[in-house]
Amino acid sequence: MSINSIIENLIKICSVKHVSNDASVLKTYSSDMSYVEAKAPICVIWPSNAKKVEKIVKLANDLNFSIIPISSGAGPRLHGDTIPQKDNCVVVDLSKMKKIIKIDKKNRIMMIEPGVTFSEIIPTLEKKDLKMNIPLHPRGSKSVLASALEREPVTIPKYMWDSSDPLLCTEVIFGTGDLFRTGTAGGPGTIKQQEKAGIAQVNPMGPTQFSPYRIIQGAQGSMGVVTWATIKLEMKPTIQKVYHIQSDKLQELLDFQHDLMKYRLCDELLILNNLNLACLLKQTTQEINDLAKELKKWNLIYVLGGRGKLANDKLEYLVGDINDILEEQGLDPSKDKQIINDTDVLRILTQPDTNSWRMRLKGGHQDIFFLSNFERIPEFVSIMENQNSYDLGVYLQALNLGTSHHCEFNIYYDPNNVEESKHVKENFLKVCTELMDAGAFFNRPYGPWAKEAYERHSASTQSALKKVKKIFDPNNVLNPGVLCFDD
């Protein structure tokens, strides 16, 4: 089938206004900050509802082209999962599906379409005294739904009851073109009928004896195209108190963090190195470097929150219990000079970022992230520090009720500096594979990590994933080239 024919058929679905094969448009969808070698898509299409998405996917099966679903519109795109790796590919940009379908305060959920961004949702939720467990200072233009689908690490580990949180139910178009709803959204009944019965699509498990939402999540769009999802929310605290502990010894902070986590004593909880904390709080390179110099190397931040009439009582008991732990561990944060202020910290923890904080230092960054257990974090930090002669940002995030830790290393470089860029590129995969060989678990294997990660993983997992792919996307129309589905 010719490209023109494909485009004609797509126009029949979405109208000419929402399909483009303009060269300049195609160019923006053909590259990102990763090292994945991309190709240009045939065209980009902007469907406005699930029915159209269904038709597009069915068409892809019929006419033998592939689809890359994306949700965050213009980007910047970082990891290679949203740019075409194959010929004959159509980018399905869901960013115009922007409905906030419902916000249910009573049941602490919202139902949103893929195009809803952090900038849009956060203030909307705040007005209703609600909050979402969000990633660290997320880019404002980033799709909330996509973030949840990617299992991006969130900053309140005590609210992360499962690795899949805060994603709940989904409406998805599988690679076959079939529409499906996961969790209790699966029915019986339409969403309206369910709501009449009292269901709010809060239970992500099922339907019955499987949980397809787990297959869709982390799949980089290769199992299905999600057209809406329910996302878990929390009540917004009325009082928040920020605590910042600095140390030159990472282990000291990790040990303290462990107890905070074990006893569920705080809300936001994370560790940053001085450079990353400075990048988050400041805007210019100079400001960042100045602050980084002032801060000690390691910075643990935690936030206590209380709500309503007894908010202060809650904080009082939490502070008391935490002080007991501080004393047991011989930590005395009051000795350190107060360098950063609470307002700024709360801003980065609760608000979207107007520009990408990782780009502020030098304009370019390559991120290496994986999951680790508690004990091995210092070892991985060591590997990165030994390898890396660059400006290195470190972000450590406890996840999933403290059972695992997101370890993120940001290699900052000037993309306009040819030598520097070349050096980063040449060593990027090398250091990633060294980490993998040391046991770092790259559970979100983007771009070139995929091949390496799967090679270092048991064959039975790959075999099983391929079986699953064959079920939900037998013709491999969805994002071919990602994960382990290409051979």
Partner 1 sequence: MVLEKEIFKEFENVVGVGNIDDGEVITDAYAYNWCMEFFNYMDGKEPLPYSPRPKAVILPSSTEEVQKIVKLCNNYGIQVKAQSTGLGPWNCVSTDNSIVVDLRRMNKIVKIDEKNLYCVVEPYVSGAQLQVEIMKYGLNCHMPGAGPQVSPLASATSMNGPGFTSPSTGHSSRNVLGVEWVLPDGEIMRLGSWGMKNNPDWFVGDGPGPSLRGIMRGWAGAKSGIGIFTRVAVKLFPYPCSTDFELSGHSPDYDFKIPDFMRLYVMDCKNFKRLDEIMLQVEKEEISFMCSYLSGLAVMAIFANNFEQMMELMAVGSMKAPLVVIIAARTKREFEYKQKVMDYLLEKNKLENIIGTKYTPYPVFFAEALRSNLGLHGFIATGGFQSTLGQCDTAKVCLNTAASNVPVKKIFIKKESVANDFGEGIWMTSYESGHYFHVESPTMFDQSNKHSVEGTAQYFERSNEMGLVKHLGAPFFAEGDRMHDMFGPHMHNYHLWLRKIKEAFDPNNIADGGFYITAGKGKKGVSKGE
Binding residues for partner 1 restricted to 233-292, rule: CB under 8 A: 235, 258, 261-264
Peptide bond before residue 166 is cis, with ω within 30 degrees of 0: yes
Closest to partner 1 by CB, 7 or 250:
250
**Residue list 292-321, contact with partner 1 (CB under 8 A):** 309-310, 313-314, 316-317, 320-321
Closest to partner 1 by CB, 200 or 301:
200
The DSSP secondary structure of 278-303, one letter per residue, reads HHHH--SHHHHHHHHHHS-SEEEEEE
Closest to partner 1 by CB, 286 or 460:
460
Least separation in angstroms between CB 444 and partner 1: 7
Contacts of residue 366, Cβ cutoff 8 Å, sequence gap at least 6 = 33, 410, 411, 413, 424, 428
Least separation in angstroms between CB 445 and partner 1: 5
Least separation in angstroms between CB 469 and partner 1: 9
- Which of 66, 194, 247, 274 contacts partner 1 by CB under 8 A? 194
Locate tokens 């592939």: which residue? 66
486 lies in the site for partner 1, by CB under 8 A? no
- Which of 126, 290, 294, 324 contacts partner 1 by CB under 8 A? 324
Q: Say if residues 177 and 475 touch (Cβ distance below 8 Å).
A: no
Binding mask 423-462 for partner 1 (x = CB under 8 A): -------------xxxx-xxxxx----x--xx-xxx-xx-
230 forms bridges with which residues in the sheet? Answer: 111
Pairing status of strand 89-93 against strand 66-70? parallel
CA distance 253 to 404: 16
Closest to partner 1 by CB, 40 or 471:
471
- Which of 21, 72, 184, 227 contacts partner 1 by CB under 8 A? 184
Q: Say if residues 412 and 33 touch (Cβ distance below 8 Å).
A: no
Least separation in angstroms between CB 348 and partner 1: 24
CA distance 45 to 227: 15
**Residue list 366-405, contact with partner 1 (CB under 8 A):** 371, 373-375, 400-404
Closest to partner 1 by CB, 41 or 183:
183
Q: Say if residues 162 and 203 touch (Cβ distance below 8 Å).
A: no
Q: Can you give the length of the chain in residues?
A: 487
The token pair at 146 is 């996509």
CA distance 21 to 45: 9
- Which of 60, 112, 278, 484 contacts partner 1 by CB under 8 A? 484
Half-sphere exposure of 98 (CA within 13 A, CB side): 12
Residue 226 falls in which region: left (phi positive, over 0), alpha (psi -120 to 50) or beta: beta
- Which of 4, 190, 354, 389 contacts partner 1 by CB under 8 A? 190
Least separation in angstroms between CB 262 and partner 1: 6
Question: With the CA atoms of 402, 406, 407 and 412 taken in that order, what torsion angle do they form, in degrees rounded to the nearest 10?
Answer: -140
- Which of 44, 112, 223, 304 contacts partner 1 by CB under 8 A? 223
Closest to partner 1 by CB, 215 or 278:
215
Q: Where are the alpha helices (DSSP H) in 338-447?
A: 342-350, 377-387, 418-437
Least separation in angstroms between CB 97 and partner 1: 15
Q: Say if residues 260 and 268 touch (Cβ distance below 8 Å).
A: no
Closest to partner 1 by CB, 27 or 51:
51
- Which of 21, 88, 141, 201 contacts partner 1 by CB under 8 A? 201
Closest to partner 1 by CB, 137 or 158:
158
**Residue list 334-363, contact with partner 1 (CB under 8 A):** none
Q: How far does Cα 79 stand from its chain's mean position?
A: 11
Closest to partner 1 by CB, 101 or 339:
101
CA distance 215 to 257: 31
Contacts of residue 486, Cβ cutoff 8 Å, sequence gap at least 6 = 480
Half-sphere exposure of 158 (CA within 13 A, CB side): 18
- Which of 200, 304, 424, 478 contacts partner 1 by CB under 8 A? 200
Least separation in angstroms between CB 328 and partner 1: 13
Closest to partner 1 by CB, 256 or 412:
256
Query: With contacts defined by CB under 8 A, how many residues of the chain interact with partner 1?
Result: 99
**Residue list 135-174, contact with partner 1 (CB under 8 A):** 151, 161-164
Q: Say if residues 372 and 441 touch (Cβ distance below 8 Å).
A: yes
CA distance 168 to 183: 7
57 lies in the site for partner 1, by CB under 8 A? no
**Residue list 59-118, contact with partner 1 (CB under 8 A):** 106-108
Locate tokens 């991006």: which residue? 152
218 lies in the site for partner 1, by CB under 8 A? yes
Closest to partner 1 by CB, 59 or 483:
483
Locate tokens 């982390």: which residue? 218
Closest to partner 1 by CB, 220 or 356:
220
- Which of 128, 468, 475, 476 contacts partner 1 by CB under 8 A? 468
Q: Say if residues 140 and 118 touch (Cβ distance below 8 Å).
A: yes
Closest to partner 1 by CB, 54 or 120:
54
